[in-house]
Amino acid sequence: MKKTILLALTVMLIIALITGCTQSSSKSDKILIGVNYELSGETATYGQSSVEGIELAINKVNEAGGINGKLIELVKYDNESKSANATSLATRLMTQDKVLAVMGPATSGAFKATIPVANQNKVPVISGSATADDVTVNPDGSVQEYAFRICFSDSYQGTAMANYALNNLSKTKAVVIMDSSSDYGKGLAANFVNTFEANGGTIVAQEAYVSGDTDFNSILTKIRDLDFDVIFIPGYYNEAGLIIKQARDLGIDVPILGADGFDSPELVNLAGKDALNDIYFSNHYSSLDQDPVVQDFIKEFEKKYNKQPDAFNALGYDLAMFVVNGIERAESLTGEAVKKALESTTDFNGVTGSFSIDEFHNPVKAIVIIELKDGVQHSSERLSLD
């Protein structure tokens, strides 16, 4: 009986080893990269657009033979726009799926929730659109070793929009209506206010709302009779579209400024095209840019998805290409080697502009200011703060 049991255990062990080897071999020609994005929930349009861009880029790389003969396999999960989910999925991707790097999430809060997991497991996490100032740095100012982004920060956007209001639109009296429930809204507001006042502008009023609010008439009625010539709304499209509509309905016709959170097809659905005039927002990309890199991307995207790409599509595409570029240059297929390669990136030529990575894992790049007329992009201008 003992011999029979021993023989059975031996056979089972051999089968397990063979199976393990087979599974390992089946993955040996693949490079696994995680995708941890908001595919449902409050900020789903950002995640969905980002992943469309990612998949376009990875398909292109695989069609060209992959990375050193190895094809890329995306391991994709939906964090449902919840930071807690983003953390647990990052853990799953790194410890169970054994990915080499993780792309996403799109929003700052959810992305920051994955960074401790990345540092612990020594697997890089990279976002295309997490703009909060503290995304890649610790409270003491030191860099988050395994966190990267390819977008500019909220302070960069807030500063740019304040300068644009003063210098390009000649506006000097601003009202700020911010999303006080998000790091994104608070960071943008603080930097807009500081820059605007430091350069001679006056902040006439600061009002706040929280994510999910739908009725802004009390705020707008309160400011309507004040003396101001521009409004800055640091927040996401969900509320910004309704604020713009309700402001125009009350006869408030001054220019309205925002940041990249305005960039969603839902903005026009919420505000209506008639309300979306004299609207300006900072962004990472515009389809109006005639750069051949941009126009080639637009053609490829339209061929695959039969629609024009938005900024999050472009950021997703650049994010994937940035990660691929780092893996190609890495000394080995380990998270630590890929991290070092990403840190050394210089003159990466992307759809959202050319950039190098600084010592805090941020890109050094220009910003785009877009003007809307009747709900569509009318003009774009690429500006540098230097």
Same domain, 164 and 65: no
The helix/strand/coil state of 215 is coil
120-129: pLDDT as tens digits: 999 999 999 9
The pLDDT of residue 25 is: 28
Is 14 a member of any domain? Answer: no
* pLDDT band, residue 78 (cuts 50/70/90): very high
Residue 3 lies in a domain: no
Q: Are residues 219 and 72 in the same domain?
A: no
Mean pLDDT along residues 210-218: 96
Which residue's structure tokens are 């927002």?
Answer: 281
User: Residue 160: inside a domain, yes or no?
Assistant: yes
> Considering only CA atoms, which of 281, 260, 253, 244 is closest in space to residue 161?
281
Which residues, in sequence order, are CB contacts of 303 under 8 Å at separation 6+? none
Is residue 23 in some structural domain? no
For residues 141 and 66, membership in a common domain is answered with yes
* Count of the separate structural domains present in the chain: 2
Q: What is the pLDDT of residue 132?
A: 87
Asked if residue 262 belongs to a domain, the reply is yes
Asked if 212 and 297 sit in the same domain, the reply is no
- pLDDT (0 to 100) of residue 27: 52
What does the pLDDT look like over 223-277, one tens digit per residue?
A: 999 999 999 999 999 999 999 999 999 999 999 999 988 988 899 999 999 999 9
| Residue-level pLDDT at 144 | 97
Domain interval for residue 91: 31-152+290-365
- The proportion of the chain whose per-residue pLDDT surpasses 90, expressed as a percent, equals 83
Amino acid (one-letter) located at 321: M
Q: What is the pLDDT of residue 219?
A: 97
Do 266 and 120 reside in the same domain of the chain? no
pLDDT tens, position by position, 331-348: 999 999 999 999 999 999
pLDDT on residue 29 = 85
Beta strands at 376-383 and 348-350: parallel, antiparallel or unpaired = unpaired
- Choosing from 244, 266, 283, the residue where a domain stops is 283
Mean pLDDT of 133-138: 92
Shared domain check, 249 and 217: yes
User: Looking at the structure, do residues 215 and 260 belong to the same domain, yes or no?
Assistant: yes
Residue where the block lists tokens 């980002």: 50
Closest CA to 30 of 74, 96, 93, 90: 74
Three state DSSP letters for 63-100: HCCCECCEEEEEEEEECCCCHHHHHHHHHHHHHCCCCC
pLDDT classification of 106: cutoffs 50, 70, 90: very high
Look at residue 104 and tell me if it is in a domain: yes
Are the C-beta atoms of 333 and 342 separated by less than 8 Å?
no
State the pLDDT at residue 265.
Answer: 85
**Smallest Cα–Cα separation from 348: which of 335, 365, 360?**
365
Residue 377 lies in a domain: no
**CATH code of the domain containing 168:** 3.40.50.2300
DSSP letter at 286?
-
Q: pLDDT-derived band of residue 23, with 50, 70 and 90 as boundaries?
A: very low
Angle, CA 49 vertex, CA 262 and CA 182 arms, to 5°: 45
Which residues make Cβ contacts (< 8 Å) with residue 360, sequence separation at least 6?
136, 137, 143
Cα 89 from Cα 144, distance rounded (Å) = 19
pTM: 0.78
100 and 220 share a domain? Answer: no
pLDDT of residue 34: 98
pLDDT band of 26, cuts 50, 70, 90:
very low
